[in-house]
Amino acid sequence: MTMLSPFSVVIPAFNEAGRIGATLRGTLEYLGRVSPESEVIVVNDGSTDATAEIVREGFSAAGSIQTRLIEHHPNRGKGAAVRAGLLAATRPIGLFSDADLSTPIEDAPRLIEPIAGGEVDIAFGSRALDRRLIGHHQPWRREQGGRVFNLVVRVATGLPFWDTQCGFKAFRLDVCRPILEKAQTAGFGFDVELLYLAWRAKLRMREVPVHWNHFDGSKVSFFRDSVRMFGEVVALRSRG
């Protein structure tokens, strides 16, 4: 078994009582086997359900893994939650993962190893580079909408990447901290802003194919959030 360098796993959570328990059990069990000096940070982003209680219960079985629960009240948005978790991280590398583990935590070495090996500063998961790794696809309309959005991102920002929205990204925190502190986007378009700022700062970045499965219960509204994300990309370009 290959052991991984210590890293921080950041999980943003908004009304995730139905699945955060299983996510924490799987994450903690995996880290206990391959990276026992790592830590898990959950950012509870203004949940109105039992998310916080379930997280505390899950952390009680963390063993050697350091854990932390950060509370946001009221809800501030996924981008704000991810940034808060990464800025609170105490390990050299921070990886954020969606609460549904749509990319399994077992894919962490794909991102952690290139950073720990000094090859890149940011490694981020991509569903577009090898679609054979997608198990359960999103509904057709949502999947096509994602492709259109990423095309717009490429045109508007000049970023050469094919999937900016996969919720599985890792950062070398010593060089990425200024970017995290500078970022302003609080909503779902925060991924684009982080990558755009890193690109302009000439950080070393790598898009990495990862396994991915769609799970019902997404907090993203296809129409409302698509319009908002397009607006965030336009605002990002105007600030650039």
Angle between helical axes of 190-200 and 78-88 (0-180°, round to 10): 50
Q: Is residue 2 part of a domain?
A: no
Distance of alpha carbon 240 from alpha carbon 238, whole angstroms: 5
Confidence of residue 151 (pLDDT cuts 50, 70, 90): confident
Q: Is residue 147 part of a domain?
A: yes
- How many Cα atoms sit within 13 Å of 233 on the Cβ side? 22
Which domain does 23 fall in, by range? 7-239
CATH number of the domain bearing residue 79: 3.90.550.10
Q: Is residue 1 part of a domain?
A: no
Ranges of beta strands (E only) in 135-215 are: 168-172, 205-209
Backbone φ, ψ for residue 183 (5° rounding): -60, 145
For the stretch 158-189, pLDDT in tens is 899 999 989 999 999 999 999 999 999 888 78
For the stretch 174-232, pLDDT in tens is 999 999 999 998 887 899 999 999 999 999 999 999 999 987 765 555 455 566 766 77
Q: Is residue 79 part of a domain?
A: yes
Count: domains in the chain: 1
